[in-house]
Structure 1
Amino acid sequence: MNMNKIFDIRPSTRQLDWQRLEFYGFIHFGMNAMTGREWGEGHEDPALFDPQHLDAAEWVTILKQAGMKAVILTCKHHDGFCLWPSKYTKHSVASSPWRDGQGDLVREVSEACQKFGLKFGVYLSPWDRTERSYGEGQAYDDFYVNQLTELLTQYGEIGCVWLDGANGEGPSGKRQNYDWDRYYETVRRLQPQCVISVCGPDIRWVGNEAGHTRREEWSVVPRALQDAEKTAEKSQQTDDPSFARSVHSMEEDLGSREAIVRYGGEWVWYPAEVNTSIRPGWFYHAEEDRQVRSARELFNIYLKAVGGNAMFLLNVPPDRDGRIATPDREALAELGARIAELNDLRLIHGTKWTASSAASEKETAEVLGGGAPDRGWRPSGTDTEPWVQMVLPETRAFNAVILQEHIVQGQRVEAFELWVSVENGNERDDETKNSDEWRRIGEGTIVGHKKILPLPLTTARRVRIVFKRYRGYPTLAAFQLALWSE
């Protein structure tokens, strides 16, 4: 494919809005929390579901304080038990003693998200081990679309429908071939700005559930990846908690120039999501209370995921009483403090911005200081080694640089270098960077929506990014310094 066509591939509005959330939570809760299972077998007695201390507002508050911007709820897992009173099955909260059979957990979580300003998403397992029509083709697709329609029409704005490819046999011994196109049409018609994740065309699974990230995460990838997770062979087949901490084989290079040469097909904008659980399993198990990921480990995943052009989806499973356990709360609170420290970025008063080629200094400052998220800097067409520089009013210490491309114009940066100087110098100069005044402190490859580049503690007055390789021309929407506690 022509390289010019590659770098002109751009995100949809729904993709762009969702990626800007960066970090959001998964809540795995349902019948499995009552039985201590990861995968229920279906037909569990609804009388088992009776969480005595469930407070959806408390869940959302805890996740928001951790820095999350959205919540996705497992409205129905593979066991088929619905957390809302679906009129298409008796296997739901309406048949349970919880809230005297009048409860609707989907409504409680969606209203809590609205109250606290978070986006709300739904997980509706395509595999239903209770429904008798599963495996019978259109009859089951009708059932599934009916339940999907309930979720998309009764709970306000839905930001995400999260689909996996879990697949098994129905009562007749047949496997269900999911009508994905019909599911997608339903979502697009009822919630046009809603993204469809993983087994869908908008957001891509990174390829594992362990929090592993690639060195280079390209958002422009082969279209074939949009079908990769739909097949039963790619889905989890057994109730195996180790699946959540294993790294599955997948191409490490999905979008470089070398990959473009190897792949002769069509390319699409399909950004990655890193999803993992705060615990070894996805549902709560008391015996895992000592295996909760530490805030430091979670923050490192955050830096590599959000800071590596991906989104971060972290699962937090409440216990059978509906509480988020103490070890999880403590780790999330510390994680939130670390993220807040990282994101406490302000345009330093008196900073001046220069570039190898640019519009006015005022406009460049507005863009690169983070004050204009829908605008970006780009060099002139004759600028062969573009650079952008910030000149601080005094020397400052920092241990990370945060960069953002203007991805409305595509993902373009392939390699860059960072240089610093403690001297003030001439603010408009382009002095030789190999002189005694300048020293190189770091380098990187892709940027994308966001690049967080940790560095040794550095003190400087001027910081410059030099673009060494790019597709067409580089863009920059933010260029900021950060200092956080180790």
Structure 2
Amino acid sequence: MKVKVLFASVIIALSFLPCIAQQAPVPYGLTPSGRQLEWYDREMIAFFHFGINTFEEYVNEGDGKASTAIFNPTALDCRQWMQTLKAAGIPAAILTAKHADGFCLWPSKYTDYSVKNATWKNGKGDVVREFVDACEEYGLKAGIYLGPHDRHEHLSPLYTTERYKEYYAHQLDELMSDYGKVWETWWDGAGADELTTPIYRHWYKIVREKQPDCVIFGTKNSYPFADVRWMGNEAGEAGDPCWATTDSIAIRDEAQYYKGLNEGSVEGNAYIPAETDVSIRPSWFYHAEEDSRVKSVHELWDIYCTSVGHNSVLLLNFPPDRRGLIHPTDSLHAALLKQGVDETFKTNLLAKAKIKATNVRGAKFGPERMVDGEKETYFAGKDKEVKADIVFTLPEKIEFDCLMIQEVIELGHRTTKWSVEYSDDGRNWISIPEATDKQAIGHKWIVRFAPVKAKQVRLRILDGKACPAIHTFGVYKQSPLFQS
């Protein structure tokens, strides 16, 4: 009788093992907030640098002295801006409501240096209102750049940082209260060293009270309140690696500061992913002489791969001209970028492969989940086993020149070393140099290389902080639009 009871107990215990094996991995380390997850899913955001600088001769950093009368767009149409973004597949936009010159694109109650004293619409216009209304009409997410540094206010003999703290707070409250949902606010660090962390704490409370879902871009002294960080340059090149986690950067020397922004730190004490800002033209504001210098589709693809494809989000600037319109070349190149991205990633060439893995958590987390195209499924390994080899065997040889891999970022940074190889016989493996001993994965990592032909592809997870959790892995052929 005791033997039967013992046997039954064993059977019951064993019956629970598959259920345990099917449990999702426990998150490791720091993980993104809901705001950060939504931000990552945008992948691309448009920046609109527009203001009084647009109407000066080749000015990108105004001194705050230009007359308000010169602001006079002759055909402002924010709907045309949104049409550009829809064609480019960009789901969100940020407007420079006030740049460092201090000129305000809305009729602020707290300054005369604004559109209410412009020639445009006899002072009755409001660019911010037209912008957010157009975003809403086209189903896009509106963001606001309210430059912390203000050269016009510095011209006042009454200027003090305490007075400016309240001035800026009033304007921030106007924008966060009167213009509907604001998805991101941008605290540029340029020129703002005098603005200390306690000042930003005062402003932070306004954002969180008025717009709890608003992502805050911050750097320097606003860093403690940032959801996302600057990535350290304006060339569109996020680091390799580019970790979403980062250390406090205030104590670093200059070289360490920029390296920390660009690459983050796998051991970082804060989850603040990098946003990659770059202009589609050489300058941030529109200049007619740059109409022939708009970045080519191939250049934009390079930037896409070193931003979105480096665990970042691309913030691409489209400067409206003096009419208040996006130039057709800018619009065309952005639309062709979308077409090329869609063509490149339309078909995962590994989708029909037979797949074997050395470290599988269970059927629910099998390696085939990496190629099923489903948003909610992923491959995962067993607890405490950080390594895995996943072999994809195809019915016949394929040619590819690009790969893309995505980690389950809700579970934290897990894999810290990975490589990709290919073979024709499953015994002799050839490394792809550009995809050897890579570190970060994060939301998305893209690697491009000279075309190779193979029947088998092997993804090697070589090290990590926790068992692998890979949402997607695939190889692809780049669109002809991106060929040099």
TM-score (ref. length: structure 2) = 0.82
User: CA shift at 1:370, angstroms?
Assistant: 5.8
Q: Any conservation in 2 of the 1:133–1:139 contact (CA below 8 Å)?
A: no
- Return the index of the structure with the highest Cα Rg: 2
1:251 aligned partner = 259
Q: Distance in 1 between matches of 2:335 and 2:357?
A: 40
1:456 aligned partner = 450
In the TM superposition, 1:318-467 aligns within 5 A as 318-345=320-347, 350-358=352-360, 361=363, 364=366, 367-369=369-371, 371-381=373-383, 383=385, 385-392=387-394, 395-422=397-424, 435-436=427-428, 438-441=429-432, 442-443=435-436, 444-467=438-461
User: CA shift at 1:168, angstroms?
Assistant: 7.0
User: CA shift at 1:31, angstroms?
Assistant: 0.6
2:109 aligned partner = 87
Higher helix share: 2
Shift in CA distance, 366/335, structure 1 to aligned 2, threshold 3 Å: same
User: CA shift at 1:30, angstroms?
Assistant: 0.6
Q: Distance in 1 between matches of 2:27 and 2:230?
A: 21
* Counterpart check, 1:138 vs 2:146: no
Q: Distance in 2 between matches of 1:305 and 1:294?
A: 16
* Gaps in structure 2 of 5+ consecutive residues: 1-25
2:79 aligned partner = 57
For this pair of structures, how many residues does the alignment match?
442
Q: Distance in 1 between matches of 2:247 and 2:192?
A: 28
User: CA shift at 1:477, angstroms?
Assistant: 1.0
Match of 1:207 among 225, 229, 232: 232
User: CA shift at 1:163, angstroms?
Assistant: 0.8
Match of 2:201 among 166, 181, 186: 181
1:263 aligned partner = none
Q: Any conservation in 2 of the 1:6–1:267 contact (CA below 8 Å)?
A: no
User: CA shift at 1:73, angstroms?
Assistant: 0.4
Identical counterparts, % of pairs? 36
User: CA shift at 1:249, angstroms?
Assistant: 7.5
User: CA shift at 1:465, angstroms?
Assistant: 1.0
Question: Residue type of the partner of 2:83?
Answer: T
Q: Any conservation in 1 of the 2:227–2:273 contact (CA below 8 Å)?
A: yes
Question: Residue type of the partner of 1:181?
Answer: R
Q: Distance in 2 between matches of 1:248 and 1:282?
A: 26
Question: Residue type of the partner of 1:482?
Answer: Y
Question: Residue type of the partner of 2:440?
Answer: I
Match of 2:177 among 153, 172, 190: 153
Shift in CA distance, 64/390, structure 1 to aligned 2, threshold 3 Å: farther
Q: Any conservation in 1 of the 2:360–2:367 contact (CA below 8 Å)?
A: no
TM-score (ref. length: structure 1) = 0.82
In the TM superposition, 1:288-303 aligns within 5 A as 288-303=290-305
Q: Distance in 1 between matches of 2:134 and 2:158?
A: 33
* Gaps in structure 1 of 5+ consecutive residues: 170-174, 235-246, 261-265, 424-432
Question: Residue type of the partner of 1:102?
Answer: K
Q: Distance in 2 between matches of 1:100 and 1:22?
A: 39
Match of 2:64 among 42, 56, 66: 42
Shift in CA distance, 210/349, structure 1 to aligned 2, threshold 3 Å: closer
The alignment yields a C-alpha RMSD, in angstroms, of 3.1
User: CA shift at 1:410, angstroms?
Assistant: 1.0
Deviations 1:159-211 (A, max 9, x none): 11111123379xxxxx6657111111111111112111133421111111122
Q: Distance in 2 between matches of 1:452 and 1:180?
A: 35
